[in-house]
Each structure stands twice: as C-alpha cells, then as structure tokens.
Amino acid sequence: MDMRWLQRRVYGADHEDPHPGPREGHEYVELAGGPLDGLLLDVTGIPPAERPSGAVLVTEIGRFGPGGRTLYGPRPARPGIWAWEGDAP
C-alpha cells in the first residue's frame, strides 16, 4: 500500500471511526477536485472492466447540499486518480 495514503480518510468512513484510513488488502483510488477532494474511494469490489464508468457518490457538501450527489471519473492518463465531473441533485 502506498505509504502516503495511510494518513488519508476513506470516503464513507464514519467520522467517529478511530481508524478512518485505508485497510490492508483493499484497493483505492484518489478523488481529485470537487467536494470530496483528497479522499480515497475503496474500489475493491468493482471489477476493473467497470471502473471506467466512475462513481456517483452521496455528499452533503456538494452544490445540492444534503442528499446531493457528486460525480467522479477516472483520468485516462492516471488510473489511480478519479477527477470530479460535477454535482447532481
């Protein structure tokens, strides 16, 4: 696991979790830009063939507030980073 990720928070980790960072044996991508910038997204259960479609993630801090969603997709040149594509209600 990339040592710089050990201090990072994983998307969806409970705010009271004493260990909100990445877990050994899981695979992560970094979210870049937008409301979830800098978080890690666990993609362990997503087959590589399905990852190019990206993800729609629930967030309270996006343009549409609580219940809103934010969209992230892979950067072709850097598959370990998913870039913000916008927010949706």
Residues 79 and 82: their CA atoms lie apart, in Å, by 7
Find the angle CA(67)-CA(15)-CA(1) to the nearest 5 degrees: 105
- pLDDT tens digits, 30-47: 999 999 999 999 999 888
Query: For the chain, what percent of residues have pLDDT higher than 90?
Result: 49
Backbone angles phi, psi at 5, to 5 degrees: -85, -15
What's the whole-number mean pLDDT along residues 20-24?
89
